[in-house]
Structure 1
């Protein structure tokens, strides 16, 4: 084993608002690392609707090239957009039916440096994720710059992580860690890992029956159907679960959907039985969702054992939601999935009750 220093380079999405060339000590449980704002970058992203990747297969290799290698901007058929007379932030080339977008993006070149016990063990290189998470979380807390997303939220970004590691000399080992980590040295950075965006989000595939949903869209568009608050919240819960992997907000949005549809449904029944809207409004804050779920809903409806079980599962979501909001508890993936599925079953149950009135 050879103790040494690992250097990691990463182009991080967004403009991290700190001065170029500044370096920061990151202390995680007494382990010192360094992260440096190397440079602010403005790479160009091109969206070309009249282009594609052409594959050429041979026995030995796969060659790729662009169908149209001309990525220039038409001098006479373009729109350039500026923000407050600053630099151009988008160009649209409309010279063809299938147009092109040119969009500069903001990135920040970060250089991280930390020590490992064995420079030959690539598993130790992954410590950069701890350094990055600590640095970005503190930056967001200090600046409230929510445009800079947390590392675990960069699901739609391609990231290239380049790494090099060098062993310390006997003399360097005598220095304090912060001096060893900031000492100038020559590095040969090579690709260690490539994190691709979630390509499944861009694939032309769906989980629903296209023919059936095509007919359904025609029916909905010819009606005056309005999406309810509960449906909006449920879609948001799906987004948090499937796109963002945010299990806390999956559970919270699932419960918002439940609370919305249950309160609306129960109040409609009360009005049908002669309770005035003014009285419902007067006692709105006196009747909590826990009481409505466990007392009023079973009292107002003829429930099967399976339906009572559904309500019991939803009540568990309510309890977990209270622990999350008031005690800061975490939510596991399994708990989030259970919450989402329970919310769907309750909404389906209430829809069936409404249709059978």
Structure 2
């Protein structure tokens, strides 16, 4: 294929997760179920937080925003992947590729900053439980969330502007199920050293700074717990932070493993597997890890169901089971 830019070759081909027809049908069913479960779970959490006054606390304010971002994050890539699994045409236009890449970066970084905000929220809850709602004021929470959205979109815009200046003279086949920047960079015949340097500098700063903030928050939590009575402090810390810590480990473990390596060392197969984890699996699991096994959320769900049913017996049974 001769040298050219996006205007002369406007389409890429997404090779997806598998080229075997039998596997494609199986993968379609599996990922469709996971996507629907994730979307329903995240929106259920959002509705419960909006409807139930018992969940109008700083912690659930962040959980609600995380659920919204997770639903958007997984919707950037999964619908196109599902369509490609059942369609003979697996192409994506230049504008579609850049749009997908933009929102993938934006929602992913927003997710990262929200996790950092939640780490600070957990520190305040353990360090100063009596002043928790005062310290985590509505203004501070709004500032955390607004900063997360603004920084993530500025970061995404910078990367997309640079990606849009690339030219491509090799195969247009992307060995992935969406337009991720590593496999796209591998197809470019333009010098990509500037973009790769940006990934390891500005990208590392934007992605790893929330991670460092989380580590510092948990170091302070540990220092606080060690001063509490034996047994009680550890149980309280685990119940408060266990879910958040497990999601942080999954999220950052896969993100760092995929993105902070040179393009020449990028493995398409490993990249696809890791990307499935944080684009589909983790957003699906987050409602269960954070909220649906939480007593406050189960209580809110019971109260809403009881209002619909309208019987005191159901209310009593519901809370006994919860």
* TM-score, normalised with respect to structure 1: 0.22
**Bigger CA radius of gyration:** 1
Relative to total residues, which structure has the larger helix share, 1 or 2? Answer: 2
The structure in which a higher percent of residues are strand is 1
TM-score (norm 2): 0.24
